[in-house]
Amino acid sequence: MDAAVERDFREFVEARSPALMRMAFLLTGGDQHAAEDLLQTALAKVATRWRSVDSPESYVRQVIYRQQVSWWRLKWHRHETRVAVPPDEVREDGTSAVDLKMTVRAALARLTSRQRAVLVLRFFEDLPEAEVARLLDCSVGTVRSTTHRSLARLRVLAPELEETLKEVRR
C-alpha cells in the first residue's frame, strides 16, 4: 500500500470507526471485546483491497456482517451469555433510559448470533428484508421467520420491552 492509499485508509478508519464499532457492538450482543475483534478483523480484510473499493462504508459494513455470520457458523465460536438482572420496578427519575438499554442488551445477548444480526440489520440499520437476505446469504423467507422468532424470543426474555416492540412493528 503506497503512502497516499494508506493515508486515505487511515482517515476513513478514524472518521468511521465509532459508527462501525457501535454496529459491531450490537452484532456481538454487547460484548465489547468481540466487537473490537470483529471490527479489527473486518478492517484488516478491507485494508488489503482498499485501492479497489468504490464505496468504503458499505463495503466495510458488508465485511463485518459476513464475518459475524462466519463466526456464528463455527461451532467453536460460542460465547458465554451474560445476563444482567433487570430492575424490579420502572423509575421515572431519568434512569429509565439506562435501565432500558441494560434490559435490551441483556435480552439481545441471550439471542443467537443469527437472530441478533437479523434484528440489528432490520431495525438498527433499517435495511429491507431483501438486503438483509443478500448480506447474510440466506432467503428473504429466512429473514422474515428469523425476525418473527427473534421478536417473539425478546418478548419472553424481556416482557417489559413489549411497548418498545410495538413501536418497532409500526
Grid cell at residue 8:
486515505
Residue range 162-168: average pLDDT? 63
pLDDT digits (tens, 9 = 90+) for 49-104: 888 888 898 899 999 998 988 876 665 445 555 556 655 665 555 566 777 778 88
Please give the pLDDT value at position 96.
66
Taken as a whole, the chain contains a residue count of 170
Please give the pLDDT value at position 76.
47
**Separation CA 127–CA 43 (nearest Å):** 22
CA-closest candidate to residue 150, choices 127, 126, 125, 169? 169
User: Tell me, what DSSP letter sits at residue 50?
Assistant: G
pLDDT digits (tens, 9 = 90+) for 84-99: 665 566 555 556 677 7
